[in-house]
Structure 1
Amino acid sequence: MTSENMNPITEDDIANYLANTPDFFSRHAELLATVQLTSPHGNRAVSLQERQAEMLREKIKALEHRLMDMVRNGTENVIISDRLHRWARAIFAVQSGRALPATIAAELAAQFQVPQVAIKMWDVDARYGGDVFAEGVSDDAKTLAASLSQPYCGVNSGFEAAGWLENPSIAMSLALLPLREGAANNAGPAFGMLVLASPDPQRYQSGMGTDFLERIAELASAALLRLRPR
């Protein structure tokens, strides 16, 4: 067979041969000391053993970063869970129905460092019809609350609900949480809305996860049911 008919050996051929011949370096151990590779930390050449050690260190470092992320996330989850527990305990300890909406808002602001919180209800029992939390809600705001299948998070684009805040002019981002019966599965009509606001335009962003906010809405809704007509 002439050299013109022979196919040249490719890198894939070499790689396949080495992968399928595990005892190659056992029979040619001297090669391990002479093989030189380019280091990713510069243009210097390093031995195969040194390159393997570098790769192992990089893997260990990546695993350490992942472990630290897991520890940090676990710690943050514990902190959030503790705050949620304190908030729920505070609102379910309220004896006066009339004081409940204000307590829900104040404790949210305190426990979760929310700069501004407001709450409004409608279709309440006649005893509470003249209270501040049950006044000043338009049909448009009620329609918005009814249309939300999950909390709205995003910029304050002139929502009426922002006007319920103590200082609407500095509310750059909002979270709007509809309050309704059967909140866990979005069943039942909306009977109120909880507003969380921040001067930071990035605090409440479109596309952010809303699972935690949904739990807040569920607990607040359950606590406020006693203000509804029986």
Structure 2
Amino acid sequence: MRAEDVAQYLQDNPQFFEGHTDLLTQIMLPHPHGGRTISLSERQMVALREKNQGLEKKLQELITFAHENDALQHKVHEFVVALFAARDLATLQEMVPHLLREIFSVPHATLRVWKTNPPSAEVIAFTDEQQHPVCLHQAAHDTADWFGEIGKQLHSFAYLPLHAGSESIGLLVMASEDKQRFYPGMGTMFLQRIADAVSAAMHPHVTQ
């Protein structure tokens, strides 16, 4: 008889152990972590403890994730409020990279606005294609040069297209030497909020 047949029989006949209660105390199983045998009831307790430990770990991960989200929400709020201090486009262009470094600890950031400093046609076309932020491990076109000499040492990039309505008006780029700071497939919800805030702050200055 196959083990699968025994298991299926016990599942189909739960009353079996009602007539064989002594069998429950006689069954000995290998300890899951080796070293000795234990009774069926002890094995069940071990399984329950391990399940509880797994649930506790998952709960702790969820709590940690919630705390991290709260912290990011606070930083985004702080960033948006700070943008209100900019009274002109030049101040805004200088302020945004500074705020990203101070609030989000982004090591390198640059803001390029089409109205004052248009990039290459390839970069504008790339920006026009992006409806949402995109993270890459390689610089798009010539954007690594925007960071000067350090551009050769950067290994992760976050591109935040800035829009006024349906038209792109600029590109905010964050970068890091750490390849895992920004990576393809990472969540971009908070990056999108940053892009929306910067776009809204720039809108009055680039549509006049």
> After the TM superposition, which of the residue ranges 83-92 and 29-38 deviates more from structure 2?
29-38
Matches within 5 A, 1:155-166: 155-157=137-139, 159-166=141-148
Structure 2 partner of 1:223: 201
**1:154 is aligned to 2:136:** yes
Structure 1 partner of 2:174: 196
Report the number of matched residues.
207
> After the TM superposition, which of the residue ranges 38-47 and 188-197 deviates more from structure 2?
38-47
**1:172 is aligned to 2:155:** yes
Render the CA deviation track for 1:47-95: whole Å, top value 9, x for unaligned.
1011101110110011011000000000000010010010000002323
**1:138 is aligned to 2:120:** yes
Identity of aligned residues (%): 34
In 2, are the aligned partners of 1:153 and 1:205 still within 8 Å (CA)?
yes
**2:144 is aligned with what amino acid?**
A
1:140 positional shift: 2.1
**1:209 is aligned to 2:187:** yes
SS at match of 1:222: helix
- The TM-score with structure 2 as length reference comes to 0.90
**1:210 is aligned with what amino acid?**
T
Matches within 5 A, 1:9-20: 9-20=1-12
Matches within 5 A, 1:115-134: 115-122=107-114, 124=115, 134=116
Structure 1 partner of 2:80: 88
Instruction: Evaluate the alpha carbon distance shift between residue 197 and residue 12 of structure 1 in structure 2; reply closer, same or farther with a 3 A threshold.
Output: closer
1:173 positional shift: 1.4
Structure 2 partner of 1:107: 99
Q: Tell me which protein shows more helix as a share of its residues.
A: 2
> Rg bigger for which structure?
1
1:12 positional shift: 4.1
Render the CA deviation track for 1:18-54: whole Å, top value 9, x for unaligned.
3343333233221111101122211532110111011
Q: Gaps spanning 5+ residues in structure 2: where?
A: none
Instruction: Evaluate the alpha carbon distance shift between residue 181 and residue 158 of structure 1 in structure 2; reply closer, same or farther with a 3 A threshold.
Output: closer
**1:68 is aligned to 2:50:** no
